[in-house]
Structure 1
């Protein structure tokens, strides 16, 4: 009889506390060690006309059409070649302002690619997207 009573008393109970502690420690570890992305975007704000009429400052106009074609001062140019062409034109006129005008159908990829290329070449540029 005693053996039967002892067996019922010796039944083990599952203690969940150590498992919960481990889960919380792992959660804290992954939160602390996670890499948070800092994505930056384009600041597309309306800018005032920096080249008023009658001014002697030259403007280098880069136009992007709806088919992602690129034009510098009316001449068709490959999108990849724009930063080098702009640098050449800025060598001739160092105070020249670079202005990019994109039509409403222009892809965002083309505008962002051009902005990245201009930033890599350290060329200040203003971007205007037509509505």
Structure 2
């Protein structure tokens, strides 16, 4: 019976650590870091992607006539309307297209395994040719 009383007495004799001051300190730190945090807006390049084609086939054919597609193949070859051209002649082709369709967009369809430098040069040539909207459309390689 004496052992039982001693254990009860020892359990009540221990003092508990008061956590309230530590919680106040942590809360103050949290408020301090929230107030002093600098929020940076990420700056990125916005790419204009073409909208989904309309369901009407006649409108789809008219859109194809009003859009210039420049294909950049995996090998680095550039073609317009299934004919191979040099990167330097992209500008002349875009200028001719802009003369026929001044508001027509130019879409560069680039293979994902094509050299980035070739794609950038094609887009630059298209812009120098007077294209206002040069859109990039990546395609998966086969």
Normalised by the length of structure 1, the TM-score is 0.58
Task: Please tell me the root mean square deviation across aligned C-alpha atoms, in Å.
Answer: 2.3
User: 1:79-113 CA distances to partner (integer Å, 9 max, x unpaired)?
Assistant: 11111111112212223221110112111001111
Aligned residue among 39, 43, 46 for 1:43: 46
1:4 equivalent in structure 2: none
Return the offset for 1:65: 0.2
Aligned length, in residue pairs: 91
Structure 2 gaps, min length 5: 1-42
2:117 equivalent in structure 1: 109
Higher helix share: 2
1:1-131 to 2 correspondences below 5 Å: 43-44=46-47, 46-49=49-52, 52=54, 53-55=57-59, 56-57=62-63, 58-123=66-131, 124-131=133-140
Normalised by the length of structure 2, the TM-score is 0.54
2:27 equivalent in structure 1: none
